[in-house]
């Protein structure tokens, strides 16, 4: 059976980063985009990093351009945008596909372990559901991630304990992380 520590991600410079380097840490994995309605979530994600990194939190920010082309820039341009507009200090990984035939195996694994359960109730969430369904038709049964800023929380033992859709309250994400630190 696979473990989160069996996977690697590409750093922005293209080097492999084994997740086994994060054994004993709480990890927040999030697919991001710079031109999305959820892009302002970079601010609370950065605050999580500032508040909890010294207590054992690591963040894997993995930009993705598969959702309405909302991350069109190069890895360098994305990094510059995030540091300029949100003062991010956590490391960003290389822009990566999270759906379809070219999906990064990490996201295939994460989504298999914690499948999509919906965006929640309300008109805004229903509209996102409809829009994501249209966007993800091209991926069929390989639409593992439904939209930008989907978050996975992994505990210190490598267990995937929660999946938060972009519509989830960041306070809920923080509460989950705090409970694991």
Point out the residues that are catalytic: 36
Cα torsion through 100, 104, 108, 114, rounded to 10: -120
- Over the range 66-82, which residues count as b (16 or more CB within 10 Å of their CB) and which as e? bbeebbebebeebbebb
Residues 156, 56 contacting (CB under 8 angstroms): yes
Which of 129, 159, 137 is closest to 66 using CA atoms? 137
Residues 126, 78 contacting (CB under 8 angstroms): no
β-strand partners of 152: 29, 163
């Amino acid at each position: 059976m696979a473990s989160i520590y069996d996977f690697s991600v590409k750093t922005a410079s293209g080097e492999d980063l084994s997740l086994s380097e994060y054994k004993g840490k709480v990890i927040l994995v999030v697919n991001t985009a710079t031109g999305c309605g959820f892009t302002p979530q970079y601010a609370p994600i950065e605050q999580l990093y500032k508040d909890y990194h010294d207590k054992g939190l690591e963040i894997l920010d993995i930009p993705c351009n598969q959702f309405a082309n909302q991350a069109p820039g190069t890895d360098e341009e994305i990094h510059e945008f995030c540091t300029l507009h949100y003062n991010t200090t956590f490391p960003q990984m290389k822009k990566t596909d999270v759906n379809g035939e070219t999906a990064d195996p990490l996201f295939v694994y994460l989504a298999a372990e914690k499948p999509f359960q919906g965006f929640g109730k309300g008109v805004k969430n229903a509209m996102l559901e409809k829009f994501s369904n249209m966007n993800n038709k091209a991926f069929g049964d390989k639409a593992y991630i439904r939209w930008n800023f989907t978050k996975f929380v992994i505990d210190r033992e490598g267990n995937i304990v929660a999946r938060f859709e972009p519509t989830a309250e960041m306070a809920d994400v923080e509460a989950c992380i705090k409970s694991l630190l």
